[in-house]
Chains A and B, each alone.
Chain A
Amino acid sequence: MSAAGRTLEIGSSPHFLSGYDVGVIMRNVILALIPTVLFAVVAFGLAALATLVVAVASCVATEWVAGRVRGEPGSLGDGSVVITGLLYGLTLPPGSPLWVVALGGIVGVGLGKSLFGGLGRNPFNPALVGRAFLQAAVPVAMTTYGPAFAPGRFTSLPSATLALPFARPEFDTWSGATPLSRWKFGGELTGAEELAFGFVGGSTGETCALLIALGGLYLIARNMMSWRIPLAMLGTVGLASAALHALAPDTYPPAAFMLLSGGLMLGATFMATDMVASPLTHAGCWIYGALMGAIVVTIRIWGAMPEGVMYAILLGNAASPLIERMVQPRVFGARPARAAP
């Protein structure tokens, strides 16, 4: 066929793209979370399911409204808000009052993301903004945990779950303590195998360290997650707690307990690695991860609270721009070049 008389599209190079795409990355993160989500439902039953559904729904609805207000009606399309919703839900105690879940989702996405201009502009991980808000607003609901694998978990919801807004729900009928608070307030250690496999109480999605790690490894293998951040964070926690434990085995818990308990695995893998709120450079990622690890150890061991992952990550987010400014990549050839002979 003759090529005559065609109009050509112009554009500037590169005319090839790698095929990486924000939507594809986000879908893969969701995929990586699925094992953790399924485990949560198996371990905590309807309570977890209700929490997750309401968490995702409230986040998505908030983003939908905010997107219209911003004039970007397509903003749901990138899928990032579903991740926020899932992560947010996974950090809540299963069976939290649903109005509380919805409120936190609205605050997390509304204040933590939309207020800053949507995708790519949030200085903090929006899921943790919502979670932190609830920690301050409804501390009792946020520290009341049910036991894992309770009988009847597939047939009934904890009574507090369906409580009306601002009613004083009764929590104590279904409460269990997490391994961290057992240790903190009772000096009782949970075994590493129990923690790794998730046979313990805790937030909806933080309990099965192995499945979380599986999801993380999948994303790392697909180059969709920084491996430096979780490695630096977990490494710092591991080394610091091993050192402390060696010094005073009776006062400080062993490293395995510190690593596998609480929200550390979930936080280090899926939340500290939020691309938007973490540094761009490799050196920045190492510093950022190590900083968060150090904060986790500090809060857990010397702080008043049993858990510190959420605050560690939020503080890490806050420090991220500063860290990034410190460690800009050094331009090629800026090192003293080897002299020409």
Chain B
Amino acid sequence: MKLPGLKTFRHGVHPPEQKSDTCNAPIRQFPFAPLLALPLGQHLGRPSVPCAAEGTPVQRGQVIAEADGDFSVPLHAPATGRIRRIAPMPGIAGRMVPAIYLEPQPGSTQEVADATPCPLETATPDEILAAIQAAGIVGLGGAAFPTHVKLRVPEGRVADALIVNGAECEPYLTTDHRVMLEQREDVLLGIRYVLKATGARRAIVAVEANKPDAAAHLRAALDPGGPVSVEVLGVKYPQGAEKMLIQALLDRAVPPGELPIAVGALCINVATCAEIGRLLPRGRGIQERIVTVTGPAVVRKGNYRVPIGTPLRFLLDHVGTQGELSRVFLGGPMMGAAASSLDISLSKGTSGVVAFGTEDARASQPRSYPCIRCGYCVDACPMFLNPAQLGLLARNEAFDRMADDHHLMDCFECGCCSFVCPSHLPLVQSFRVAKAAVRKANKP
């Protein structure tokens, strides 16, 4: 669905949207698993440090692990219960990661422990940022970057526009869509907090044209001359990438290697905004997040408010699956990670769980051919790189040349190149490896 005249960016792809199964499914509360597993490193940056000993009872909302410095966030108990163990658990890629195991107490009222509220009217910008960190808030769109760090405007820069990202361009995912429909007041309050914290004068909520109901619902609550507006964007992947949003909405190009603030913009995911608006007035921390659970193998597809730390196995058992599961993605199919086992758990950055059965062809890898230089990848890359050339160099492990001559580090791993490649070459997959190698080599 590409309406002419809508704002968007150049290049990109149109994967099948697959949203119709869940976009009308209201958010439902998910029950507590018998044992929650909370990795200490659910966010980018330094992992949280446990502050509640094994065996101690905790109340829902209580801090159980503290932030380790500025580039970190605390972790709150998602349920009233008891800390069972502080021990490693399987992480998404299969490696063991440090975690806290929490056993919710059956029959508890699950009353949430409130802390010091952060009132919008009286709080200073710094106080708001501190409250965002204290609430354990990270980018809920999937990146899990600590929000207070992202929103801090560096010395000498000015934030001119705040972009609230409700594009949700990943196939299958509908959490942001539902949040805009069901938590409008939280979103708008969150925006006011963020505007105050950053000093930005206006906020633009970006919504792809496949969610006209969300755009209309938000608009209905806005006064026309006010600082907040809603902008409908063309449906294209990766419309929700920061640089693409800024290009589409402000017609500004963030230079290579720079952050959005270089052109006066800040981006925040709409669900993250909603959490700010929901948690800060009551001084609470994140205990749950909204997850789209869908895919051909899922029986009760829908959007659920799931306690952080819910094991994937419990989640899928509860919604029901049909047939043999072959692949489960956390996040969308374009950028999400494949779960190595069902023993991992949902973390703050998990926006979706998409499960495929063994017989679903879309999830299988077809035959690959040599590069035929069709140029599809060049036409798809939103960063205007040359993935074919990069792919060739990656095969020869010429990582330095990839970085020095072909802008490897500007690749943000959107996967458009691999998506279109008729030879089914593992382009972005090899760029990830190359980027890691370059980063390692550049470390002193």
* CB proximity of A71 to chain B, nearest CB, Å: 14
Neighbouring A residues of B373 by C-beta, 8 Å: 120, 275-278, 280
A226 to B94, CA, bound (A): 43
Q: Is B399 an interface residue (CB 8 A)?
A: no
- List the A residue with the shortest CB-CB distance to B338: A10
- Are B370 and A280 neighbours in the complex by a CB distance under 8 Å? no
Chain B count of residues within 8 A CB distance of the other chain: 84
Contact for B338 among A4, A12, A118, A328, CB less than 8 A: A12
Neighbouring A residues of B254 by C-beta, 8 Å: 333, 337
- Are B420 and A331 neighbours in the complex by a CB distance under 8 Å? no
Neighbouring A residues of B374 by C-beta, 8 Å: 25, 275
B94, B157, B384 interface centre (most CB from chain A within 10 Å): B384
Per the 8 Å Cβ criterion, residues 366-396 of B in contact with A are 366-367, 369-376, 378-379, 381-386, 388-389
Contact for A18 among B13, B251, B372, CB less than 8 A: B13
- Are B256 and A333 neighbours in the complex by a CB distance under 8 Å? yes
Q: Mark B418-434, 1 if CB is under 8 A from A, else 0.
A: 11111110101100100
Q: Mark B16-30, 1 if CB is under 8 A from A, else 0.
A: 100000000000000
- List the A residue with the shortest CB-CB distance to B355: A3
- Are A338 and B415 neighbours in the complex by a CB distance under 8 Å? no
- Are B158 and A13 neighbours in the complex by a CB distance under 8 Å? no
- Are B372 and A338 neighbours in the complex by a CB distance under 8 Å? no
Q: Is A152 an interface residue (CB 8 A)?
A: no
Per the 8 Å Cβ criterion, residues 19-35 of A in contact with B are 20-25
Chain A count of residues within 8 A CB distance of the other chain: 51
A143 to B231, CA, bound (A): 64
A7, A10, A18, A21 interface centre (most CB from chain B within 10 Å): A18
Segment at the A interface, from B77-85, B191-199, B326-334: B326-334
* CB proximity of B411 to chain A, nearest CB, Å: 10
* CB proximity of A316 to chain B, nearest CB, Å: 14
- Are B333 and A332 neighbours in the complex by a CB distance under 8 Å? no
Per the 8 Å Cβ criterion, residues 279-337 of A in contact with B are 279-282, 328-335, 337
Neighbouring B residues of A331 by C-beta, 8 Å: 256, 383-385, 407, 410
Neighbouring B residues of A335 by C-beta, 8 Å: 253
Contact for A338 among B171, B243, B252, B341, CB less than 8 A: B252
Q: Is B149 an interface residue (CB 8 A)?
A: no
A3 to B384, CA, bound (A): 42
* CB proximity of B37 to chain A, nearest CB, Å: 16
Neighbouring A residues of B424 by C-beta, 8 Å: 17, 21
- Are B336 and A20 neighbours in the complex by a CB distance under 8 Å? no
A118 to B422, CA, bound (A): 17
- Are A22 and B422 neighbours in the complex by a CB distance under 8 Å? yes
Q: Is A68 an interface residue (CB 8 A)?
A: no
- Are B386 and A328 neighbours in the complex by a CB distance under 8 Å? yes
The answer to whether A21 and B422 touch (CB under 8 A), given A15-B327, A275-B375, A333-B243, is yes
- List the A residue with the shortest CB-CB distance to B364: A9
* CB proximity of A339 to chain B, nearest CB, Å: 8
Q: Mark B313-344, 1 if CB is under 8 A from A, else 0.
A: 10011001111111111010111111111100
* CB proximity of A172 to chain B, nearest CB, Å: 43
- Are A17 and B243 neighbours in the complex by a CB distance under 8 Å? no
The answer to whether A11 and B384 touch (CB under 8 A), given A17-B424, A329-B378, A338-B263, is no
Neighbouring A residues of B407 by C-beta, 8 Å: 331
Neighbouring A residues of B355 by C-beta, 8 Å: 3
Q: Is B363 an interface residue (CB 8 A)?
A: yes
- List the A residue with the shortest CB-CB distance to B9: A332
Neighbouring A residues of B422 by C-beta, 8 Å: 20-22, 24-25
- Are B336 and A13 neighbours in the complex by a CB distance under 8 Å? yes
- Are A332 and B325 neighbours in the complex by a CB distance under 8 Å? no
- List the B residue with the shortest CB-CB distance to A4: B313
* CB proximity of B365 to chain A, nearest CB, Å: 7
- List the A residue with the shortest CB-CB distance to B430: A12
Per the 8 Å Cβ criterion, residues 278-316 of B in contact with A are 313, 316
Neighbouring B residues of A16 by C-beta, 8 Å: 15-16, 171, 333-334, 362, 419
Q: Is B125 an interface residue (CB 8 A)?
A: no
A6 to B316, CA, bound (A): 12
- List the B residue with the shortest CB-CB distance to A117: B370
Q: Is A182 an interface residue (CB 8 A)?
A: no
Q: Is A221 an interface residue (CB 8 A)?
A: no
Contact for B333 among A4, A15, A24, CB less than 8 A: A15
Q: Is B227 an interface residue (CB 8 A)?
A: no
- Are A3 and B415 neighbours in the complex by a CB distance under 8 Å? no
Neighbouring A residues of B243 by C-beta, 8 Å: 332-333
A7 to B333, CA, bound (A): 19
Q: Is B111 an interface residue (CB 8 A)?
A: no
- Are A275 and B342 neighbours in the complex by a CB distance under 8 Å? no
The answer to whether A332 and B366 touch (CB under 8 A), given A16-B334, A120-B372, A337-B252, is no
Q: Is B55 an interface residue (CB 8 A)?
A: no
Contact for A21 among B366, B382, B389, B426, CB less than 8 A: B366
Q: Mark B397-409, 1 if CB is under 8 A from A, else 0.
A: 0000000001100
- Are A281 and B375 neighbours in the complex by a CB distance under 8 Å? yes
The answer to whether A337 and B342 touch (CB under 8 A), given A1-B320, A8-B328, A11-B327, is no
A328 to B326, CA, bound (A): 40
Neighbouring A residues of B342 by C-beta, 8 Å: 3-4, 6, 8
* CB proximity of A258 to chain B, nearest CB, Å: 28
A341 to B262, CA, bound (A): 11
- Are A332 and B382 neighbours in the complex by a CB distance under 8 Å? yes
A332 to B161, CA, bound (A): 20
* CB proximity of A84 to chain B, nearest CB, Å: 13
Neighbouring B residues of A118 by C-beta, 8 Å: 370
The answer to whether A8 and B327 touch (CB under 8 A), given A13-B415, A333-B255, is yes
Could you pull out 30 A-B pairs where Cβ atoms are within 8 angstroms? A3-B313, A6-B325, A8-B325, A8-B340, A8-B341, A9-B327, A9-B338, A10-B94, A12-B432, A14-B418, A14-B428, A15-B327, A15-B338, A16-B15, A17-B419, A17-B424, A18-B15, A20-B420, A20-B422, A21-B366, A120-B372, A275-B373, A282-B379, A329-B378, A331-B383, A337-B255, A338-B253, A340-B158, A340-B263, A341-B264
Give B contacts to A, CB under 8 Å: 13, 15-16, 94, 157-158, 160, 171, 243, 247, 251-256, 258, 262-264, 313, 316-317, 320-329, 331, 333-342, 355, 362-363, 365-367, 369-376, 378-379, 381-386, 388-389, 406-407, 410, 413, 415, 418-424, 426, 428-429, 432
Identify 11 new A-B residue pairs, CB closer than 8 A, beyond the known A119-B372, A340-B157: A1-B321, A6-B342, A10-B327, A13-B415, A17-B362, A20-B420, A21-B422, A22-B372, A23-B369, A280-B386, A337-B253
Instruction: Name the 6 nearest CB pairs between A and B, nearest first.
Output: A340-B264, A120-B370, A14-B415, A20-B422, A333-B253, A3-B316
